[in-house]
Amino acid sequence: MKKFWIKKALMILVFGTAAVLLFGWIVMALWNNILAVVVTGVKPLSFLQALGILVLSKILFGGFGGGRGKWRGSAAWKEKMKKRWDAMTPEEREKFKAEWKNRCGGRWSMDPTPEATPGATAD
């Protein structure tokens, strides 16, 4: 069993390294063949600079995947919350809604009441 995990770790290391190198080469090739030619004043990149841009874009736009799935609406999280909601009494539900309205200011209400909507009239 231990050999399996060592093999798996080595495969992840090899494929992960290959993926990083491939993406770095793609960034370098696209930059040098498109931006350096089309935009005046843009210099070609070295491979290490392309890897740096790749890491920078991952930091700025992608994060590092910590807690992936927890706050992205995963099916398990939705199911867990549905079970909690179903187990609540109507009074507990109202208390829960009031607490979140207090925390969030009621900005994301899915079904605004006519009183809360500016210019709306009650029929």
Predicted confidence (pLDDT) at residue 104 exceeds the cutoff of 90: no
pLDDT band (50, 70, 90) for residue 100? confident
Predicted confidence (pLDDT) at residue 27 exceeds the cutoff of 80: yes
Encoding tokens for residue 95? 């208390």
Encoding tokens for residue 21? 């190198």
CB atoms within 10 A of CB 13: 10
Residue 69 to residues 73, 76, 84, 104, 122, Cα–Cα distance (Å): 7, 9, 19, 22, 41
The per-residue pLDDT of the chain, averaged, comes to 81
Domain boundaries, the chain: 2-62, 76-104
pTM, 2 dp? 0.49
